[in-house]
Amino acid sequence: MRNHIMKKLLLICMMICLVFCLGGCNFPWDKEKTGDKNVRKENITASEVKDSMKGKQLIIGVSDGMAPFSVRDEKTKEMKGFDIDLIKGISEYLGFEYKLRVAPMRELTDLLREKKIDLAISGICITDSRQKEFQFSDVYFENTLKVMVNTDKNITDRKELEGKTIGVEEGTSNAEYAQTNLSEENKIKVYPSMDKVFKDLEKGKIDATVYDATGVDYFMANYKGDKISALDEKLNSAESNYGIMFRKKDPSVGKFNVTLQVLNTEGTYQTIKNEWIGSEDED
C-alpha cells in the first residue's frame, strides 16, 4: 500500500516537472546548425525571451531581389517572402516593432556596419569572410548553390564552364564563390542585381550564373522562356546556409536563436516554408 502511494506521488511529481519544462525549458542549441561559431551560446529559456524586446523599434535591412525569401510585390509594392514572414513571426514573439529598409544585397553590409540598420535578412549566406566582421544567428535555412546556363551554349556539366563568362550579383556569396573558385578559368562579370544577371543570361550576353539553389528552383518554376536551364550539380554547401546577420556582440542574437527554435517547435516555421518553398511531400 505504501509503495503504491509512493508511486502515485512520484508520477504526480514527474507530471508537474513536465508542465514546468514545457513552459520554460531550454531549447537545445544545434551545434551543427550554429551560425557564428565564434560566439558563446547563452543559456536562455523560451519563457525568458517571450516579449523581452517589447517597446523596441528595429530597422531591418532586406534586399528586394532574393525571391522567394524577400521580393517586392509587383502590385502592392510591399515586401513579401519567406524571410519577411519569418521576421514577422520573430517580432510577434519577442514583442518588438520594426521597419524594413530595402537595399541591394551589396549595400546591406555597409548599412549594418554604419549602424543604419540593426540587422539584415535576405537569404544571407553564413560565409567565413562575413563572420570575421559580423555575427550570425543559428542557421534558419540550409542551402547550396547551383549553376544556371543559357541553353544555346550547350553546357550540360560544370566542367564545361571552362572559358565561359559567368555573371554574378555584387556583394553576394555567389560572387565570392565564383571569384574564388571559377575566376582562373572563366571571366566573371559582376552585376548590381540578379534581375540584370537573368536578363543578360537569357539574351546570351553571359554563358552562366551561380545562384542559391532555392532561388534557382523558384526562378525555373516561374520561368516561361526556353533560354535558361539549371544544372543538377550543387556547389559549396559548407558556406551557403542562411542566417540573420547582426553586428558583433549584439545582445539580441541569443533571443532570436531561441525564437527560431520556438517557431520551429510550434509549427510556424513549417507553415512559412510550405507557403514559400513547398512541403517535403512536394519534392
Q: How confident is the model at residue 20, as a pLDDT?
A: 37
Q: Are 243 and 137 in contact (CB under 8 A)?
A: yes
Q: What is the CATH number of the domain that holds 109?
A: 3.40.190.10
Kindly list the averaged pLDDT for each block of 10 residues, start to end, along the chain of length 283: 49 39 37 48 79 98 94 95 98 99 94 98 94 97 95 93 95 90 90 95 98 94 96 83 97 97 96 88 52
Q: How confident is the model at residue 152, as a pLDDT?
A: 97
Domain span including residue 86: 44-142+241-278
Number of domains forming the structure of the chain: 2
Q: How confident is the model at residue 65, as a pLDDT?
A: 86
* Domain identity same for 74 and 127: yes
Q: Are 162 and 67 in contact (CB under 8 A)?
A: no
Q: How confident is the model at residue 19, as a pLDDT?
A: 37
Cell of 150: 543559357
- Buried b / exposed e along 87-103 (16+ C-beta atoms within 10 A): bebbbebbebebebbbb
Beta strands in 56-106 (DSSP E): 57-62, 65-66, 70-72, 79-80, 97-102
Residue 214 lies in a domain: yes
Q: How confident is the model at residue 154, as a pLDDT?
A: 93
Q: How confident is the model at residue 52, as a pLDDT?
A: 97
Residue 68 lies in a domain: yes
Alpha helices (H) in 25-149, listed in sequence order: 46-49, 82-94, 105-113, 128-131
Distance CA 231, CA 161 (A): 11
Nearest CA to 167 out of 187, 152, 137, 138 is that of 187
Tell me the backbone φ, ψ of residue 128, rounded to 5 degrees. -60, -40
